[in-house]
């Protein structure tokens, strides 16, 4: 197992180090940002009061437990950083080290050596735990070095550790259930998304639901606000159970098989499976419907929560905030905020869909199609059309779900679909990279989306200038959307850039060697 852990470290040393360092820098960056933006107690108190009366902030980040620099830091990163980012990356790594290896057939090569059959899973969980431990230690150390109280810094570091490890075990169980790495990731992401939605409803409604998910727990450790250490134990129990379940499943099943068996399928292709577009739809449709259904459910949940909270939403503070942002119905203002965040999630799905092309190419599957009378551009356009359709369905599902549940379907739908060009722009960046520098496509496209997310976070603390903030396509959509004017121009601009980037990418694809 030592050798296997070493193999994992050897393969992913760069990405592991990048993840650990970036994760550790985020809290201290936010602390510095908070201290800069809200230098005295009065401004921090005002900010905390604003959060308390803002359902959008409550839904995504929960309440502020202490209006100190440390308290605001914990408020920002305890759930968003530790659970979302830490949990997500832990899932991706664990699936990569277990099911993806198995799917690729490399696990078999290792399994024929003297390895124990549990060794791959064990080494994946050990490395994931070690990485999360490193993040936790660094988070605490950097916050102490910055000058925040040591006790709170340690509590926040522990948040990172336990949340990461918990989701590593979620990924481990997902990897045992299904035969494909994509399916395993999807299971873990659904768990993460459902937990987020439940906690959002709980936080806005101030109900017991806040105790039902890791998001609520991470916040209620209350780093820098009278730490409650016992809450950390809430993470440990499910993590131990999930790890035990993963090992039990792995001991029982065949290598390469899942728990959910593969069924046989049709002997003859349906009449529509006759073009690159139809093939692309076939390959993407599971993900497309999954995203659309997930976001529709999330929209319904948010919309109905808002409906039952209409009175709580209509606070003077929130109305003032709404007026400052162009006014309108408080619910609409709220949706604008939430949709702004969720649109970035949809952009992630679009990037993932575009990168499927690269995956098809490296797997040799592009060859099979392109050796037939199919031009490269036609093949790529099939994937891109399905990507775009997926984005439209996801945004529409979110808007319709939220709008129908709240009772204003059209206006909410309009403001979700407004993010279509922004989401497609990220897809187009991935296409351009895929055409010209295919090896860089995945890391650079994801980093750019990550940069947009960080920009958003920093913008909130006014660390970066508005001009820099306007680099983000999401901000470019949100600004005219709240102002109520200039939307057409902004969206056309984004769409033109997206089309130009995609066209450039297709030109590159026509000119380069395929792997």
Partner 1 sequence: MNSPVVTRGLVKTFGHVHALDGLDLEVHAGEVHGFLGPNGAGKTTTIRILLGLLRATSGHVEMFGGDPWADATALHRRLAYVPGDVTLWPSLTGGEVIDLLGRLRGGADPARRAELLERFELDPQKRCRTYSKGNRQKVALVAALASDADLLVLDEPTSGLDPLMEAEFGRAVAQERDRGRTVLLSSHILSEVETLCDRVSIVRAGRTVESATLPELRRSRRTVVTAELAGPPRGLETLDGLHDLEVHGTFVSCRVDPGRLDAVLHALTGAGVLSLTSRPPSLEELFLAHYREEVAV
The footprint of partner 1 (CB under 8 A) covers 103, 179-180, 262-270, 273-276, 278-279, 282-283, 286, 363-365, 367-376, 513-514
Our CB check for partner 1 shows the closer of 174 and 473 to be 174
CA distance 173 to 163: 16
> Residue 223: left (phi > 0), alpha (psi -120 to 50), or beta?
beta
Can you tell me which residue has the tokens 């792995």? Answer: 250
CA–CA distances in Å: residue 426 to residues 59, 113, 292, 472: 26, 43, 18, 10
H helices present in 314-437, as ranges? 316-324, 330-362, 365-370, 376-406, 409-417, 420-436
**CA quadruple 285, 397, 53, 31: dihedral sign:** positive
Beta carbon of residue 11, minimum distance to partner 1 (angstroms, whole number): 21
In angstroms, what is the minimal distance from the CB of 263 to partner 1?
A: 8
Q: Is 408 helix (H, G, I), strand (E, B) or coil?
A: coil
| Contact between residue 175 and residue 89 where contact means Cβ atoms under 8 Å apart | no
Closer of 228 and 512 to partner 1 (Cβ): 512
Of 118 and 275, CB closest to partner 1: 275
| CA pair distance 216, 444, nearest whole angstrom | 32
Find the shortest distance in angstroms from Cβ 113 to partner 1.
21
Min CB(203)–partner 1 separation in Å: 38
Q: What is the dihedral of CA 242, 156, 37, 449, to 10 degrees?
A: -30
What is the Cα–Cα distance from 211 to 216, expressed in whole angstroms? 6
For 502-513, the DSSP string reads HHHHHHHHHHSP
- Closest separation between CB of residue 362 and partner 1, Å? 10
Min dist CB 374 to partner 1, Å, is: 6
Contact 166, 89 (CB under 8 A): no
Least Å distance, CB 378 to partner 1, is 8
Residue number, 279 or 388, with CB nearest to partner 1: 279
- Of 109 and 368, the one with the shorter C-beta distance to partner 1 is 368
Q: Which of 449, 430, 446, 419 is nearest to 502 (CA)?
A: 430
Closer residue to partner 1 (CB): 83 or 279: 279
Q: Could you tell me the smallest distance in angstroms from the CB atom of residue 123 to partner 1? A: 25
Q: Which residue's CB is nearer to partner 1, number 365 or number 389?
A: 365
219 vs 356, beta carbon nearer partner 1: 356
């Amino acid at each position: 197992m030592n050798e296997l852990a070493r193999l994992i470290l050897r393969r992913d040393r760069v990405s592991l180090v990048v993840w650990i360092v970036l994760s550790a820098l985020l809290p201290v960056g936010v602390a510095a940002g908070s201290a800069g933006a809200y230098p005295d107690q009065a401004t921090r108190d005002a900010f905390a009061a604003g959060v308390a009366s803002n359902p959008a902030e409550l839904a995504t980040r929960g309440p502020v437990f202490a209006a100190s620099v440390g308290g605001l830091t914990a408020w920002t990163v305890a759930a968003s950083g530790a659970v979302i980012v830490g949990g997500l990356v832990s899932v991706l790594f664990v699936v990569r080290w277990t099911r993806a290896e198995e799917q690729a057939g490399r696990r078999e090569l290792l399994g024929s050596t003297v390895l124990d059959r549990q060794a791959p899973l064990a080494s994946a969980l050990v490395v994931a735990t070690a990485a999360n431990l490193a993040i936790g230690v660094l988070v605490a150390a950097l916050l102490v070095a910055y000058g925040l109280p040591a006790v709170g810094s340690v509590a926040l570091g522990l948040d990172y550790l336990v949340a990461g490890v918990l989701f590593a075990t979620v990924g481990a169980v997902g990897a045992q259930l299904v035969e494909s790495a994509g399916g395993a990731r999807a299971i873990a992401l659904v768990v993460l998304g459902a937990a987020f939605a439940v906690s959002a409803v709980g936080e806005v409604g101030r109900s017991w639901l806040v105790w039902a998910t890791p998001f609520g727990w991470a916040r209620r450790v209350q780093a820098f606000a009278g730490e409650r250490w016992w809450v950390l134990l809430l993470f440990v129990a499910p993590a131990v159970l999930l790890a035990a379940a993963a090992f039990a499943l792995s001991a029982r099943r065949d290598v390469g098989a899942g728990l959910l068996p593969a069924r046989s399928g049709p002997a003859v292709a349906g009449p529509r499976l006759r073009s690159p577009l139809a093939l692309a739809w076939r390959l993407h449709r599971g993900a497309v419907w999954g995203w659309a259904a997930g976001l529709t459910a999330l929209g319904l949940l948010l919309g109905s929560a808002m409906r039952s909270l209409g009175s709580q939403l209509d606070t003077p503070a929130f109305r003032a905030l709404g007026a400052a942002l162009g006014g309108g119905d408080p619910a609409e203002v709220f949706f604008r905020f939430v949709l702004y965040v969720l649109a970035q999630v949809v952009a992630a799905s679009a990037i993932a869909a575009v990168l499927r092309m690269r995956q098809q190419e490296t797997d040799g599957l592009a060859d099979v199609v392109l050796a037939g009378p199919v031009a490269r551009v036609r093949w790529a356009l099939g994937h891109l059309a399905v990507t775009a359709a997926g984005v439209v369905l996801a945004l529409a599902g979110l808007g319709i779900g939220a709008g129908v549940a709240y009772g204003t379907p059209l206006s909410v739908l309009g403001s979700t679909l407004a993010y279509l060009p922004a989401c497609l722009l990220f897809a187009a960046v991935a296409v351009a990279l895929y055409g010209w520098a295919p090896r860089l496509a995945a890391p650079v496209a994801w980093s750019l989306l990550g940069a947009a997310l960080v920009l958003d976070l920093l913008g909130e603390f006014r660390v970066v200038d508005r001009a820099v903030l306007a680099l983000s396509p999401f901000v470019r959509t949100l600004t005219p959307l709240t102002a109520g004017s200039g939307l057409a121009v902004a969206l056309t601009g984004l769409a033109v850039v997206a089309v130009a980037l995609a066209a450039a990418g297709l030109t590159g694809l026509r000119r380069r060697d395929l792997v």
